[in-house]
Amino acid sequence: MEEKRELRIVRKTWETADTATFAFEPTDGRPLQYLPGQYVSLVFSTQTGEKRRAYSFSTCPGVDALPAVTVKRVVNGEFSNWLLRHAEPGDVLTATEPHGRFLLPPKRPDTIFYIAAGSGITPVISHLKALLAKPHSARIILYYANRDSQSTIFKPQIDQWIKDFPTRFRCLYFFSKEKKADNALHRHLNNQLLEELLSRHFADGIAAKQLRGTLFYLCAPQAMMRMAEMTLRTMNFPEKNIVKENFVAETRLPTRELDTTRTHLVVASNARERIEFKAFAGETILNAALRQGIPLPYTCKSGVCFTCLAKCTKGEVDVAFVDSVRREGPGDMVNTCIGYAATERVELWYE
């Protein structure tokens, strides 16, 4: 069900004191097919089993010769620290095929706003490369929050774009620890400021056309994304025009009591194969598969990355998020890492 790739690191470039970009090439010579905004999951073997971490591409196909990911150190983080300290050109990493739904729309909107913070810039920079490579694309505004200029990933590139594309691209930095910098405010981006900035941007008023024709992409800490989404919804921007990428796995997930006396039959298929396996009541579909050595795709195992997404074609699945359970049926997409079979038989289709 899942194909793994071996990626050789070709270049390691330090972007800031705690962030580096790793460019790589697949060892099998087959190009890695990806879209701007997607990510790969790096697969690490540890003494306690396999662990995975997702890293978004900071490159854009057709613009950059080699795919690359950009990794920022997380304090006490197991693999971000390992990558930054030990991974070097020549090393080979194991990865999954690219995944992700933080994608550009097929039809360009009038305006695209990006709200990013820290390493959240990574999938955004991939989008920006794609958009700015085309002469007649949308107007782009980036709100980008960091501590200061020094810690701002890709600042030289963004500053160059500010100069090169004065009518199409604008960036406003928000620095919490730096008082005077070009194109920057020494403020936290909160709901009042965001509303003020948007109202100023749409000086002639936010009519139906602006509400429909403006897209928002958010990639920042959860609290900031929640603030931005609430502000945008209060201002009547439609929910479907707000696209979010969450980097941090959810640790407060509800679990269910395992009942090994009751089982459900799960049929997982894709274009190449069909696998049947049993899941205990109270066991997620993904865990049931992995327990039996069936390699279904996953990364975060906590409902945030969507690697494990499959379409339910028969039966029903309970998808258990932190604050709600959604009963999904035929035609619905389900996160199998937090999905429990709710009927005797469940059939799933993997793209």
Binding site for ligand FAD (CB under 6 A): 39, 53-56, 69-72, 74, 76-81, 119, 122, 245, 247-248, 300, 304-305
CA distance 328 to 348: 12
Residue closer to ligand FAD (CB basis): 10 or 74? 74
Q: How far is the CB of 319 from ligand FES (least distance, A)?
A: 10
Q: How far is the CB of 127 from ligand FAD (least distance, A)?
A: 13
Which partner from the list ligand FES, ligand FAD, none does 308 bind, CB cut-off 5 to 8 Å by kind? ligand FES
Which partner from the list ligand FAD, ligand FES, none does 335 bind, CB cut-off 5 to 8 Å by kind? ligand FES
Nearest Cα to Cα of residue 290 among 300, 303, 277: 277
Q: How far is the CB of 39 from ligand FAD (least distance, A)?
A: 4
Contact pattern for ligand FES over residues 285 through 314, marking x by CB under 6 A:
-------------xxxx-xxxxxx------
CA distance 44 to 49: 8
**Per CB under 6 A, 55 contacts ligand FES:** no
* Residue from the set 36, 37, 335, 340 that interacts with ligand FES by CB under 6 A: 335
CA dihedral 214, 216, 217, 219 (to 10 degrees): 160
Q: How many CB atoms are closer than 10 A to CB 227?
A: 20
Residue closer to ligand FES (CB basis): 241 or 335? 335
CA distance 296 to 308: 7
Q: How many CB atoms are closer than 10 A to CB 192?
A: 9
Residue closer to ligand FAD (CB basis): 113 or 247? 247
Residue 137 buriedness (CB in 10 A; 0-12 / 13-18 / 19+): middle
Residue closer to ligand FAD (CB basis): 55 or 161? 55
Which partner from the list ligand FES, ligand FAD, none does 191 bind, CB cut-off 5 to 8 Å by kind? none
Closest residue to ligand FES using C-beta atoms? 337
CA 310 → CA 57, 230, 299, 332, 347, distances in Å? 23, 29, 14, 8, 10
Which residue, chain included where needed, has tokens 């109202």? 199
Q: How far is the CB of 122 from ligand FAD (least distance, A)?
A: 3
**Per CB under 6 A, 337 contacts ligand FES:** yes
CA distance 244 to 330: 25
Whether the CB-CB separation of 32 and 59 falls below 8 Å is answered with: no
CA distance 227 to 246: 14
Residue closer to ligand FES (CB basis): 196 or 351? 351
Residues that bind ligand FES (CB under 6 A): 298-301, 303-308, 335, 337
